[in-house]
Structure 1
């Protein structure tokens, strides 16, 4: 004879809210990567106009490459964590099923 534990409605709500906070944190982190990438891009674009440096072209290229790398890392990080969040969302669904089957 199988006995089921009574479901806890607060547990489901807490799990869903924690998941929403995690999703928002992931989006915020992506926006931080994007902002940092744009700072490097703007620095590369404005370097020649602001400073008279001998090797400014090399520095500009380095800043553009850094900007692109940060942007790509941000995208990869976002999708990696989004997949992880989606996998954890399945666990919340199991709790919900246990609660509603009672």
Structure 2
């Protein structure tokens, strides 16, 4: 086995984990934007049906939050399942 191949695979896996975490933070940031928009709508605009718009923004914020968490967990499970494919290279390398 080539040590460079093992290192490259482990680094690629780490980049994938970091990208998954970054995507989760992006979902959280977006849901926070919708939440803040819902909270500040009544104070900034004098709209007749502002309560309906606020509730819609709160629901959108919650939906984005739930989708982000579900996406993170789905990809995390996939990453863990794929980690076992590169995890046993060191055992084969030590036998040589």
Which of structure 1's runs of 4+ aligned residues deviate more than 2 A? 94-97
Q: In the alignment, which of 6, 9, 16 is matched to residue 10 of structure 2?
A: 16
Aligned counterparts of 1:72 and 1:39: Cα–Cα separation in 2: 15
Residue of structure 1 in register with 2:26 after alignment: 32
Listed one character per residue, the Cα deviations across residues 38-67 of structure 1 (whole Å, up to 9, x for unaligned) are 000000000000000011000000000000
Gap regions ≥5 residues in structure 1: 1-6
CA RMSD of aligned residues (A): 0.7
TM-score under structure 1 length normalisation: 0.91
Give secondary structure in 2 for the equivalent of 1:80: helix
- Give the structure with higher Rg (CA): 1
Q: In the alignment, which of 50, 56, 72 is matched to residue 78 of structure 1?
A: 72
Total equivalences in the alignment: 96
| Structure with the largest fraction of helix | 2
Gap regions ≥5 residues in structure 2: none
Q: What is the CA-CA distance between 1:70 and the residue it aligns to? A: 0.1
Aligned counterparts of 2:22 and 2:29: Cα–Cα separation in 1: 10
Give secondary structure in 1 for the equivalent of 2:46: coil
